[in-house]
Amino acid sequence: MVGVATLLVGFRTAVSPAAAVVAAGFLACVAATGWALATRTELSTPAMTAAAGVGVVLHPFGDVFLAAPPPLFSPVGPPVWTGRVALSADPTLDLLGVLFVELATVWAGLVVFSRVASDRMDLGGRVRDAIDRRAGVGLAYAPTAVLLPRPTIADAHILGATIVPFAAIVGVWAWVASTRRDGGTEHADTGGFGVTSVYIGVVSATTALGLAAVAYAAVYTVV
């Protein structure tokens, strides 16, 4: 608690009160996630601490693809990175590249979760078994490449505010369908209601998001 308080005070002093509030919310989410994992898995405290440490260390490096340089040692150290990594000279393809980097990170997390929680689901620890065929609807996002203004890093909301809800709807659709197949409950060895169905929904939504991004990129490069 002392370390958390010191960190938040540092953010408030060196950055801004708003940054401290954001950091507090982030840390609260981390604490809630850690508590949920601790009560629902057999992971040891050292294993969870190591996983959390990896996440904290790697988190700032995602900012190298955004418009602002990442404050790697904020709020206790000077900036060590003053630019960003551009994945393409085309601003829209650059944004899509960032999306694919983010998707790769999400997939890595899903793979880890599938291994950790495999004993609570009927999927054998394989992510591909959780992909519902409805995820293929993500390809229907392709026409937006000609219907919407071309997004860039500066106005990424044009892409994010459409492709993410679209994928989320597909994920909810897959989740509901999975729940109905199970008759509203899951097998006794899954550890409770909804674990497998929710996981199928999340994986299917992520798959739909990836397919939508690929379809958008294909149409964009052709047109």
**Longest CA pairwise span in the chain (Å):** 56
The total number of residues shown for the chain amounts to 223
Domain boundary assignment for the chain? 2-65, 91-222
Q: What is d(CA 98, CA 89) in angstroms, rounded to the nearest whole number?
A: 13
More confident residue, 92 or 11: 92
**Residue corresponding to tokens 């959780």:** 130
Say which residues have a Cβ less than 8 Å from residue 76's Cβ, sequence separation at least 6.
10, 14
Residue 185 reports pLDDT greater than 50: no
The mean pLDDT of 184-191, rounded to a whole number, is: 44
pLDDT digits (tens, 9 = 90+) for 3-52: 677 777 877 777 678 778 877 887 787 777 777 766 766 667 777 777 77
User: At 201, is the pLDDT very low, low, confident or very high (cuts 50, 70, 90)?
Assistant: very high
**Residue 135 DSSP symbol:** G
The structure tokens listed for 219 are 């149409």
Q: What is d(CA 25, CA 4) in angstroms, rounded to the nearest whole number?
A: 12
pLDDT of residue 193: 47
More confident residue, 68 or 101: 101
